Structure 1
Amino acid sequence: MIKLSVFLTRRADLTHEEFVDYWTQQHTPMVAGLPGGEVPVRRYVQLLPTDDSIPGIDTLAYDGVAELWVDDIADAAHWFSSEPYTTTIAADEEKFLDRSRTRFLYTTEHPIF
């Protein structure tokens, strides 16, 4: 499996709280409500930053991270080029994301413990 970590930045006109509210209350139900078979995503997790910090350790300035698990990179490509994503999901992302600042990291997991 491939895990995509998608680093998200809110639109400049939104507060972090407004971003989180829209992402979790409006956008996520839209994604979850897509008909079965439309989404080749095996797992979807939202990571929301806390206010915690450790002295001397810098953190990245993102408003959230979406993690998506897919069987392979072809499924990820299918999802991001699919009609539901391009016409519905991507259009809705414009309401809360600065998509020009979205960053992707494609990984495989290698558990240690």
Structure 2
Amino acid sequence: MIKLVYICHRRSDFTPEAFYDRWLNVHGPLVKSVAEQIGARRYVQSHKLDTSVNEQLREARGMAEPYDGITEVWWDSMDDLIRAAETEEGQAAMQRLVEDEAEFLDLSKSYIFMTEEHTIFEF
């Protein structure tokens, strides 16, 4: 399997509460509604917890400004993703997702990339 990882940064005109609500309750169902057209097998949102531990972890490593969460989307293969993206329906679905993301994400501060997982351990 391959996975898209999307490190999300909210737009400054959204409070954290409004951002997480919009992401979970509007964008999430939209992604689910187009999953077949884009060939996606799994979709997960990870919302940042409101805890001082986040700041401690970030500062201990000298890391930059925190993000608001991550999205992960899985496909069986890169070929499956490409095949879906080449269809008219897949292209339209992906365009709908990009347009919707621009409504609540600061795309200039977000980051997206494809990955292949390598499990080191699992209990």
Aligned with 1:17: secondary structure?
helix
TM-score by length of 2: 0.75
- Structure ranking higher in helix proportion: 2
Return the alpha-carbon distance in structure 2 between the equivalents of residues 112 and 15 of structure 1: 37
* Structure 2 counterpart of 1:111, from 103, 119, 122: 119
2:110 alignment partner in structure 1:
102
Structure 1 gaps, min length 5 = none
Return the alpha-carbon distance in structure 1 between the equivalents of residues 40 and 119 of structure 2: 21
1:72 alignment partner in structure 2:
77
What displacement does 1:79 show?
A: 4.3
Number of corresponding residues: 111
RMSD (Å), alpha carbons: 2.4
What displacement does 1:76 show?
A: 3.8
2:44 alignment partner in structure 1:
45
What displacement does 1:55 show?
A: 7.7
What displacement does 1:26 show?
A: 1.0
Runs of 4+ in 1 over 2 A off after TM superposition: 54-57, 71-81
Amino acid at match of 2:47: L
Task: Return closer, same or farther for 1:19/1:37 CA change in 2, 3 Å cut-off.
Answer: same
What displacement does 1:84 show?
A: 1.2
What displacement does 1:73 show?
A: 2.9
